[in-house]
Amino acid sequence: MKTMRRVLLALTTFVPLTVLAQHFALETQSDSLHFLLLQTGDATDRWCLPYPVYRLDSADIDGNGITDAVVGVVKRTRFMPDVERRIFVFKNHKGLIRPLWMGSRLGGHLQDFRCVGRLVRALETSDSGVYVVADYAYDGFGLSFVRYHLRGGTEAEARRIFLTPQPTDNPTN
């Protein structure tokens, strides 16, 4: 009888919790007013983005097993007064959208980005107009440089490399 109670207790104690599916989406109100949506089960959370948005992607950027939203916005910052493309990363914290990183700049002038595994691949230009394709990873504070795929190329070459899978691409990065 004691053995049976222990088995029942073990079964009820170690039943895995069901993880609800989640999905990030973008709702557009106007060209400069968007809402990031997080849908988990029957619940939806919203985060106001009062800027033009040029891209929404998702990946497990911080490596915790939960998909994060990576949003490209166009805005100025406190220390960078020029209106430019920026990257914001948001996480799912118990069904609520919370900022993980609201970056002002990567290495150069951001033209576009996409998620590759846990990395953010950026198509950038330098101050002199030279094109760069680089990977960045979340380091616990922000996005840090990992590697170049191209440094000093033409726009056509940079776009080709930016869009083409590279030998270093690995979904577990």
pTM of structure: 0.84
In a domain, 7, yes or no: no
In a domain, 126, yes or no: yes
In this structure, is residue 16 part of a structural domain? Answer: no
pLDDT in tens, 154-170: 999 999 999 998 777 76
Domain assignment of residue 169, yes or no? no
Asked if residue 102 belongs to a domain, the reply is yes
Measured CA distances, 159 to 151, 155, 165 (Å): 12, 6, 12
Structure-token pair, residue 140: 């616990």
Does residue 5 sit in helix, strand or coil?
helix
Domain count for the chain: 1
List the domain range (segments joined by +) for residue 91.
22-163
Distances (CA, A) of 83 to 11, 23, 104, 105, 127: 57, 29, 11, 11, 15
Residue 2 domain flag: no
Note the pLDDT tens digit of each residue in 42-60.
999 999 999 999 999 999 9
Structure confidence by residue, pLDDT tens digits, 78-122: 888 899 999 999 999 999 999 999 988 899 999 999 999 999 999
Residue 112 placed within a domain: yes
Inform me whether the pLDDT recorded for 149 exceeds 80: yes
Length of the chain (residues): 173
